[in-house]
Structure 1
């Protein structure tokens, strides 16, 4: 994992449509942290998704509290003495010429759901599930119908034809975030309703890597 390159922008024009191939994966959306803008990219499913535990023990990991900076959370886990399988797997990836992949933080994975929602099910209306203080535009609590299913064929499931997009987020289990919830648990995100929850760190859950680049 080349830590020094994780937030460097490229020379390509950054897309504006979620699901567009870009930067080794697919463009998700934008984040705005203070005055700094970022573009979030999710890895291809075939090479950027796995299932693993978050950590070998249900214990606290320092410097993994960020809700928007999965790169820093991942770096802290990689540097820790205890095995962090999910973060280490993401950090070891090299996809499309990029080696700065990470386990996304809560707000980064929330943006993936909001912009690339795979199904038509009603959304979870709990405030914690939809609020996103660092997305651009800022995310608010979900309603039953907002966000709607993504129009991206690569990321959605079409019921009428029973066709799964090749990049579709799975709905059979939750995905890990890199954001610590408590000493024994970490926040998770599921992609059927967008509900945010948490799970014990030794649990085996889905992992989908992301990367993020500065804009400007």
Structure 2
């Protein structure tokens, strides 16, 4: 188990500047599974597949979605677009799993972190995850295909993360593909 020093301030961290052990990838916690550390220092929790995955369009029309522009803050993006016109974000925002109701559509950065840490296929780049439940055929494995992020590219397009080959690209918002909810939490001792 490795450790990280939190860089969060006293207003947001329970113990500012403390050493918090980072759990092993795939550890059940906080309503889902530990998926890695976000660029902002928070922990990314991926939802259980049975409850937090669907196939949906990002938006019902190919138009702009003001506010969904963060590459890091998926929760803010989701809050800005969680309505009937944005099925993927609305699905995630409506979830209540493990007693938590702050599930959201992960940002481009969040989904890239999950891809690097929980890649389901062998022989790819990055290599297949060591977490058995997330390996190809595992109960929690990401499907080896495109997954929406909450990050808009331009008016009619949003970013996707491919869990088959690791690529990122943007596509028309009305495209239906995989959605997997995430949540973020401050580092804590499990």
Specify the alignment match of 2:33 in structure 1.
26
Quote the residue 2:134 is aligned against.
155
Contact 2:39 2:72 in 1 (8 A): no
Q: What residue number does 1:178 align with?
A: 150
TM-score normalized by the length of structure 1? 0.75
Secondary structure of 1:74's counterpart equals helix
After TM superposition, the runs of 4+ consecutive aligned structure 1 residues lying more than 3 A away are: none
- Specify which of 56, 63, 66 is matched with residue 59 of structure 1: 63
Is 1:188 the counterpart of 2:160 in the alignment? yes
CA deviations 1:134-160 (Å, max 9, x no partner) are xxxxxxxxxxxxx32111110002xxx
Higher relative CO (Cα under 8 Å, sequence separation at least 6) belongs to 1
In 2, Cα distance between equivalents of 1:185 and 1:153? 34
Would the aligned equivalents of 2:39 and 2:109 in 1 still touch at CA under 8 Å?
no
Q: Tell me the CA shift for residue 9 of structure 1.
A: 7.7
Asked if the contact 1:121/1:192 (under 8 Å) is kept, the reply is no
Give the match for residue 81 of structure 2: 77
RMSD over equivalenced CA pairs, Å: 2.0
2:140 aligns with one of 167, 173, 184: 167
Q: 1:96 aligns with which of 95, 98, 112?
A: 98
Work out the CA distance in 2 between the residues paired with 1:152 and 1:87: 27
Structure 1 position 102, deviation (Å): 0.2
- TM-score, length of structure 2 as denominator length: 0.85
Count of aligned residue pairs for this structure pair: 173
Alpha-carbon distance in 2 for matches of 1:14, 1:198: 35
In 2, distance between residues paired with 1:178 and 1:16? Answer: 26
Asked if the contact 1:109–1:177 (Cα under 8 Å) also holds between the matched residues in 2, the reply is yes
Separation of aligned partners in 2, 1:47 and 1:14: 28
CA distance in 2, matches of 1:72, 1:214: 16
Provide the secondary structure at the position in 1 that maps to 2:116: helix
| Contact 1:188–1:197 (8 Å) recurs in 2 | yes
1:106 aligned residue: 108
Give yes or no for contact 1:179–1:187 (8 Å, CA) kept in 2: yes
How far off is 1:215 after superposition?
2.8
Q: 2:179: which partner in 1?
A: 207
How far does the alpha carbon of each residue in 1:23-77 deviate from its partner, in whole angstroms, 9 at most, with x for none?
10000111243xxx21110000000000001111101111111011100000000
